Structure 1
Amino acid sequence: MTTVIEVTDLTKRYRDTLALDEVSFAIEENTIYGLLGRNGAGKTSVMSILTAQNSPTSGTVRVFGENPYENAKVLRRVCFVRESQKYPDDATARHAFRMASLFFPRWDQALADQLVDDFQLPLKKAIKKLSRGQLSAVGVIIGLASRAEITFFDEPYLGLDAVARQLFYDRLLADYAQHPRTIILSSHLIDEVANLLERVIVIDQGRIVMDEETDAVRHRAATIVGDSAAVEAFVAGREVLHRESLGRVSSVTVIGELTADDRSRLAEAGLDVAPVSLQQLIVRTTQHHAEARSSAAGPALSEGARS
C-alpha cells in the first residue's frame, strides 16, 4: 500500500488549549478510514491542518509527500467537506457544483446529476434558504462527485434524516467500489458507519488511542455477564475496560479475544458473553484512557497542592 498522508508529532495549541498532542499516524491510499472521537477530541483540527485550512504549532504533515500549505498541486487532489461549510450568500446549489467542477480535475457531472435526483435537491434555490438536510446534501454531493484522491467528510451528513444518510452510505460504497480512493469519515454515528470503515483512528483529548483495522478491532473485547463472584474470578488478571453491577450480577468488558478454553470456562461457570459493538468499544476505550490519565495526574496534583 502507498502512504498518501504522513503525520509526525503533530501538535496544535489554541492559546491555553492543547487540541493535538504530538499526534502521529499514516493514511494509506484507497482505504476508507473512520476518524472518530468525542466532541473536542481534535478530529476537526487534524483535518483542517491536513487540508491547509489551519497550521500546526509543531510537527510535520505530508500529503502526497509534500507540505499541503499553499500547495495548489496537492490541494486539487483533496476534498474537504464539513458540516459548517460556507458558501456565498447568493450562491445556489448549481453554482456550488459548477465551482467544484472547475476546481476538482476528477469531477463527475453525471454522478452529481444522479445524486441531485437521489436527494431531491432544488438547484435554483439559494443555499442560505435550504433546509439543514438540503445543505448537507450539497456537501455530500460535492464530496462524492469530486472523486478526489483524498476526501474528508467532517460530519456533513448529520443534517440528513436516517433514510438520506443510508442513501449516502450506499452511494459512497457503490462509487468507491468502482473508483477507489482514500476516504476519511468523521462521525459520532459510529455504529451507523461501522460497516463502511476499513480502518479506525480514534482521537481522545488530542491523542491517538486507537489506530487499527476494523476487523481486528471487532475482536478486541468481550463483555462477560453473570454472577458477580464468577465474573470477577474470570476477569482477574485481564485488562478491564468497563464494569457495571446490579445486585449480584456484574457486566465486565475486557480487552482480548476469547480463546476456545476461555469459552469453555465461561460455559462451565454459567456466564454469558455479549458482543461489543465498535461504538461501545470506542466509548469504553476513551473512558478507560480518561480514567487512566486522571489516576496518573492525581498524585501529581496532590503533590502540587502540598507544595
Structure 2
Amino acid sequence: MNVVRTTGVTKRYGALAALDGVSVTLAGNTIHGLLGRNGAGKTTLMRILTGQSFETGGTVEVFGQHPYENADVLARTCFIKESQHYPEKFRVRHALRAAELLYPNWDTAFAAELLADFAVPSGQLLGKLSRGQLSAVGVIIGLASRAPLTLFDEPYLGLDAVARQLFYDRLLADYAAHPRTIVLSTHLIDEVSDLIEHVVLLDGGRVLIDADAESLRGEAVAVTGPADAVERYAAGYEELHRERIGGALRVTLTGAPDRAHPGLDFEPVSLQQLVVRTTQHHGALVAAGKEAR
C-alpha cells in the first residue's frame, strides 16, 4: 500500500520554485530517506505532506486524501522538526501529555523508557534543556507516537554520536515490532544508510533519485586505472564524476557497470558518495544548461 503519492507537485514563492514537478510514491511500512542539500526542497515537501503548507500545483495524496486541514490524515501523521518549538512554560511531561492526546497510537510506557534512555528529566522546563536534550524530546515524541506516517526532519542533529546511535537502534527495534512508514531527512547519510530501504534525492526542487536503496548499492562504481583504459571502459556508462590521481584517472560511473576488467581497479560507491556525486553532476548540468526536462 502506498501511503504518499505526489504528482507534478510545485511550490513557488514568487519567482523561486522550491519544488518543481515533484512526483514520488512512498510505500507503507518502509523507512524512506529523503536526502539532498540545504535548500533542495526537502522541508517544503514534508510541510506539504503534513498539511502545514499548500502546493502551488500538482496533486498530493496522503493515505489517499489531501492532508491540508484533514483531521483524519493529520491524526495518523507525526512531523518532528530540527527546531521544534514548544510553549514557553511547558515542562517535558507537558509536551508528552500533549502528544498523548494528539496521537491515537501513543505508547506511554515506551515514552518513559525513552526518557530514561536519553536521560531527559520529565519535570524540567523545556526552555531550560540543553540542545541535545531538546532534540531528544522530539525524537521521543516521534518514536512513541507510533504514527502510521512519521517524518523526522533532522531533529537529531543536536544529539551527540552516542545519542544518535541510540536513536537509530531504538527506531529500528520499534519499527520491527510496530511497522509503519518513516521518513528520515538527514545529511548524516552514512549513519543511516543501513536503515534506509528507499531513497528520494532532491536537488533544486527536483527529484534526482527515487529508488530502492538495495538497488542503488549496486548501481554505481568508482573505476581507477590508466587514463586511456578508463576512458575506453567508461564510454558505455553515465559518468558522475572524474578526477586525476597522479598519472591515473578515477571516474564514478552509474548504470550497474561490469566490475571485471583487466588493469582497472573497482571500488563500491557508498550511498553518501552516490548522493554527493549525483547532486554535483546535476549541478554541473544545470550550470551548463544541459539538464533534461
Shift of 1:68: 0.9
> SS of 1:156's equivalent?
coil
Match of 2:28 in 1: 29
Bigger radius of gyration among the two: 1
Tell me the alpha carbon deviations over residues 201-225 of structure 1, each in whole angstroms, 9 at most, x when there is no partner: 0001000000000000000110011
Listed one character per residue, the Cα deviations across residues 166-202 of structure 1 (whole Å, up to 9, x for unaligned) are 0000000000000000000000000100000000000
Size of the aligned set, in residue pairs, is 291
Secondary structure of 1:195's counterpart equals coil
- TM-score, normalization by structure 2: 0.97
Match of 2:216, SS?
helix
In the aligned structure 2, how far is the partner of 1:256 from the partner of 1:208?
18
1:106 aligns to what SS in structure 2?
Answer: coil
User: What TM-score, normalized by structure 1, do the two folds share?
Assistant: 0.92
* Whole-angstrom CA distance in 2 between matches of 1:29 and 1:179: 12
* Partner SS state of residue 157, structure 2: helix
CA distance in 1, matches of 2:131, 2:59: 36
1:292 Cα shift?
Answer: 1.4
Summarize the alignment of residues 71-150 of structure 1 with structure 2, pairs less than 5 Å apart. 71-150=70-149
Match of 2:274 in 1: 281
SS at match of 2:85: coil
TM-fit CA distance, 1:56? 0.9
Unaligned runs of 5+ in 2: none
**Greater CA drift, 59-68 or 108-117:** 59-68
Q: In the alignment, what sits opposite 2:208?
A: 209
Q: Shift of residue 297 of structure 1?
A: 5.9
2:251 counterpart SS class: strand
- CA distance, structure 2, for counterparts of residue 236 and residue 15 of structure 1: 42
CA RMSD in angstroms, aligned pairs only: 1.2
Aligned counterpart, 2:254? 255
- Asked if the contact 2:237–2:257 (Cα under 8 Å) also holds between the matched residues in 1, the reply is no
SS in 1 for 2:12: strand
Matched, 1:188 2:181: no
Aligned to 1:292: 285
Matches of 2:257 and 2:73, distance apart in 1: 45
Tell me how far 1:122 sits from its aligned partner. Answer: 1.4
C-alpha distance in structure 2 between counterparts of 1:63 and 1:24, whole Å: 13
How much has 1:112 moved relative to structure 2? 0.2
The answer as to whether partners of 2:146 and 2:180 remain within 8 angstroms in 1 is yes
Q: Report the CA distance between 1:140 and its aligned residue.
A: 0.2
Q: Distance in 2 between matches of 1:27 and 1:274?
A: 30
What is the alpha-carbon distance in structure 2 between the residues aligned to residue 297 and residue 193 of structure 1? 32
| Whole-Å separation in 2 of the counterparts to 1:190 and 1:76 | 29
* Residue in 2 that maps onto 1:223: 222
How far 1:84 moved relative to its partner?
A: 1.1
Q: Which moved more, 1:60-69 or 1:43-52?
A: 60-69
Q: Quick one: distance in 2 between partners of 1:246 and 1:9?
A: 42
Q: Which has the higher helix share?
A: 1
Give me the whole-angstrom Cα distance separating, in 2, the residues matched to 1:111 and 1:174. 12
Rounded Cα–Cα distance in structure 2 between residues aligned with 1:237 and 1:213: 23
1:101-140, Cα deviation, whole Å (9 max, x unpaired) = 0010000001100000000001111111111100000000
CA contact (8 A) 2:115 2:140 kept: yes
| Structure 2 residue aligned with 1:272 | 265
Distance in 1, matches of 2:189 and 2:35, equals 8
Question: What CA distance in whole angstroms lies between the structure 2 residues aligned with 1:221 and 1:122?
Answer: 46
Residues 32, 183 of structure 2: 8 Å contact kept: yes
Q: Which runs of 5+ in 1 are unaligned?
A: 299-307
The one-letter code of the counterpart of 2:195 is L
1:246, distance to aligned residue in structure 2 (A):
2.9
Tell me, in whole angstroms, the C-alpha distance in 2 between the residues paired with 1:234 and 1:70.
54
Q: CA deviation digits over 1:229-265, x for unaligned, max 9?
A: 2222221232111000033122110112233xx50x2
